[in-house]
């Protein structure tokens, strides 16, 4: 009884005592998006008040990007190889590649037409001051696009050299061949597949650690941009910037939701999953900065690993939705400024040229500027005009990079959804033949919860993998 009284007394004392105040979160425990937003504000302040310091802080951004680029190939390569090797046939590889490229072509063409129409209707560029433009900043880039060189660049004659150069497109091509070869030899490739699986798992951990320091890179980039470029060039180009951002808003808010609706993909949920990564891509102006974690988020969303690891890296070279909108808007702006032909026939020719030139340009330095210079020649636009846009390129580059990330995430979900529909039809035929459909058609449907699961990342992430293993 004494024990009971003593226990009860302690309980009463605890109940009457005030609850301890919750600890304030330290800044490094805040969500990554909040940390990045704080870094943006601090970077803008440093760049404005201490420009010399801001320019030196670019080192932080460069270090962050180097860390990201360090892990991109070691992660993407094994994922692509394993994704191809675990597909049931080479025919499926070709089918997914065909669907992805067809999707890229259709969507980028629609976006180009929207950009041209928007720029034409608003009349941006008419009366713009182009006489004093300096072409010195783009002279080294005014070399056009050599398609022979581009094709040879994508097929490595030395795989190790391609890895050393960070040639993502060449690595994808080699990974395709290696994955097909591993699928052909079957069980003999199991030890090597196990090694690649271990490498990819380890690299995912490394990527997680690298992304934690993203706010430091953001601070460096914003400080440098504000200090180096300032805001002096904005006045004469505010209309151009506004139309580009309006066009990108149409793509994000109208085009992509319509595509998601057609394929029954939960677009808002997808944006929630990748929102933080889109923010990082926006402030760092680098799609590669979020390539690896983007594939992980898409798996958590329900997209199968084989589709994600193949379509997303391919999209980085062939599906630059934000960039093509910027290029089309810029060319119409310059055409108006130089009073060149902007008839319907001329604009359609420009769209056709951009459809071709914009593919496979992700690995080219200053890709958007190179495309503008090459396409501008077809419309009689001098290099001096393109030089006008260099001063504000970093402002539109942030938005177009973010849209590129969203576009590639949606592309992977669409291709995976298409494959899921095909599998559902085949599963239906299997049921009619008396065979069991263990996984159900919803397991591969991105953005759809599997019955009996709570929608958490873990269970839904595993569903597509189970089906692949069963195959």
Q: What is the domain partition of the chain in residue ranges?
A: 88-158+235-424+446-470
Q: Are the beta carbons of 272 and 203 closer than 8 angstroms?
A: no
Tokens for 306, please give them: 């084989």
For the full predicted model, state whether its pTM sits above 0.85: no
Q: Residues 314-364: pLDDT tens digits?
A: 888 788 899 899 989 998 988 888 888 788 888 888 888 788 767 655 544
Report the pLDDT value the prediction gives residue 378, as an integer from 0 to 100: 65
Nearest C-alpha neighbor of 386 from the set 394, 375, 395: 375
CA dist., res. 242 & res. 236, Å (int): 12
d(CA 71, CA 369): 27
What single DSSP character describes residue 145? -
For 84-129, give the DSSP string: HHTSS-HHHHHHHHHHHHHHHHHHHHHHHHHHHHHHHHHTTTTT--
Average pLDDT per consecutive 10 residues, the chain (471 residues; last block may be shorter) = 46 50 56 75 86 87 80 80 72 82 92 92 78 48 53 79 79 84 85 88 81 82 77 67 93 96 94 90 82 88 87 84 90 86 82 74 55 72 71 79 94 91 61 42 42 37 39 35
**Per-residue pLDDT tens over the stretch 46-76:** 888 888 888 888 888 888 878 877 877 887 7
Tokens representing 365? 């330095």
Per-residue model confidence (pLDDT) at position 20: 52
Phi, psi dihedrals of residue 362, rounded to the nearest 5°? -65, -30
Query: In the chain, helix, strand, coil percent, each to 5?
Result: 80, 0, 20
What does the alpha-carbon distance between residue 458 and residue 308 come to, in Å, rounded to a whole number?
Answer: 17
Helix or strand run (H / E) with residue 336? helix 321-337
Ramachandran category for residue 364: left, alpha or beta (phi over 0 → left; psi -120 to 50 → alpha): beta
Tokens of 263: 């394929």
CATH number for region 88-158+235-424+446-470: 1.10.3860.10
**What is the structure's pLDDT at 361?**
54
CA nearest neighbour of 405 among 252, 301, 261, 216 = 252
Q: What is the pLDDT of residues 22-31, one digit of tens each?
A: 554 555 567 7
């Amino acid at each position: 009884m004494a024990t009971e009284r003593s226990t009860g007394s302690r309980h009463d004392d605890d109940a009457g005592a005030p609850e301890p105040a919750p600890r304030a979160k330290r800044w490094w425990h805040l969500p990554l998006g909040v940390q990045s937003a704080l870094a943006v504000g601090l970077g803008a302040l440093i760049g404005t008040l201490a420009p010399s310091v801001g320019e030196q802080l670019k080192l932080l951004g460069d270090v962050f990007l180097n860390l990201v680029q360090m892990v991109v190939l070691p992660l993407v390569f094994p994922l692509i190889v394993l994704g191809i090797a675990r597909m049931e046939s080479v025919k499926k590889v070709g089918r997914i590649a065909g669907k992805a490229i067809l999707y890229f072509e259709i969507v980028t063409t629609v976006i180009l037409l929207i950009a041209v129409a928007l720029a034409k209707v608003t009349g941006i560029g008419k009366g713009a001051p182009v006489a004093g433009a300096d072409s010195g900043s783009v002279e080294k880039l005014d070399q056009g696009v050599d398609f022979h060189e581009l094709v040879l660049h994508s097929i490595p004659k030395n795989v190790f050299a391609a890895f050393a150069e960070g040639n993502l497109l060449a690595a994808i091509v080699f990974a395709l061949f290696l994955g097909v070869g591993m699928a052909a030899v079957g069980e003999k490739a199991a030890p090597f597949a196990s090694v690649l699986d271990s490498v990819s798992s380890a690299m995912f951990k490394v990527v997680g650690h690298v992304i934690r320091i993203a706010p430091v890179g953001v601070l460096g980039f914003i400080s440098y941009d504000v200090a180096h470029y300032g805001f002096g060039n904005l006045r004469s180009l505010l209309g151009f910037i506004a139309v580009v951002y309006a066009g990108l808003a149409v793509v994000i808010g109208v085009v992509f939701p319509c595509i998601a609706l057609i394929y029954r993909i939960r677009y808002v949920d997808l944006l929630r999953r990748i929102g933080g990564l889109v923010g990082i891509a926006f402030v760092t102006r680098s799609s590669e900065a979020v390539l690896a974690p983007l594939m992980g988020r898409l798996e958590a969303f329900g997209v199968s690993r084989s589709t994600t690891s193949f379509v997303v890296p391919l999209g980085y070279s062939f599906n630059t939705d934000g960039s093509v909108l910027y290029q089309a808007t810029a060319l119409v702006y310059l055409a108006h400024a130089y009073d060149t032909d902007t008839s319907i026939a001329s604009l359609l020719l420009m769209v056709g040229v951009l459809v071709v030139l914009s593919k496979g340009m992700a690995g080219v330095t200053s890709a958007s500027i190179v495309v503008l210079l090459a396409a501008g020649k077809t419309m009689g636009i001098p290099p001096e005009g393109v030089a006008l846009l260099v001063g504000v390129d970093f402002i539109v580059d942030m938005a177009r990079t973010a849209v590129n990330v969203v576009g590639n995430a949606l592309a992977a979900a669409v291709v995976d959804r298409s494959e899921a529909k095909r599998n559902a039809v085949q599963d239906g035929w299997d049921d009619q033949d008396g065979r069991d459909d263990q996984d159900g058609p919803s397991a591969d449907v991105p953005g759809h919860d599997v019955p009996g699961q709570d929608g958490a990342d873990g269970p839904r992430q595993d569903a597509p993998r189970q089906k692949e293993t069963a195959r």
